[in-house]
Amino acid sequence: MVYRQTNRIKEKIECKRREIIRAAREVFAENSYQGTSIKTVAQRAKIATGTFYLYFSNKEALINTIVDEMFSELLEYIKNERAVYTDGFDKLQASMEACIKLFIKENNLAKILLIQVPGVNNAFNAKLIEIENELIKLTKEDLDELKVQGRLTGEDTLVSAMAFVGSFRQVIIGWLREGRPEKLNEAFSTLMQYNLRGLGKKPNHNRQENGEDER
């Protein structure tokens, strides 16, 4: 009986914690990181301000959790999108397309996590580097596979992977910071073609050629 009650208590605590995170994501997306107070988050979560501190020590701990969750979602989304394809070029495109889709969907929150927070908290820069390195790792695996197949010749796949991911990061950051390019989804197509040509992709290659449908 005690064990069951303990589980119920744990579930209740986790449920309340999730409510605070959900409310915080909404509030942060509506306001700036610096312009959002713990009181505002507490009000949105329908709890007392003091109750907030039972779950998070401060606003930094809260945004840290949101950062971890959002980028875990991103990596999971990327891996799921990639799993549909077997061709290296298609997996490259799926990885970057997943990033673009998520950042367009969560553009306000993405602006906070990629632009505002790193500017006031250097610790978050390490998190961003960690995520970028994970994307570079996935990209390098695809390039190594293509190189073994003879579809890439002589390139340093690590440098190529870093350049590939870096170009997308630069365009996304520019879009979040300055609103340029205006339509990120259209810019994605141009940037993807540019990068794939640089990697040696044949102009007539597409997903249908491998027996896979466009999604």
pLDDT tens string 93-142: 999 898 888 888 878 777 777 777 766 666 677 777 888 898 899 999 99
Which regions in the chain score pLDDT beneath 70?
A: 1-5, 118-123, 154, 202-215
pLDDT of amino acid 4: 57
Contact present, 103 and 187 (Cβ < 8 Å):
no
Question: Domain map of the chain by residue range?
Answer: 1-56, 59-202
Nearest to 110 by CA among 120, 102, 119, 98: 102
Nearest to 68 by CA among 8, 117, 27: 117
pLDDT of amino acid 202: 62
pLDDT of amino acid 143: 93
The CATH number fitting domain 1-56, selected from 3.40.250.10, 1.10.10.60, 3.30.950.10, 1.25.40.10: 1.10.10.60
Task: Write down the CATH number for the domain with range 59-202.
Answer: 1.10.357.10
Predicted TM-score (pTM) of this structure: 0.75
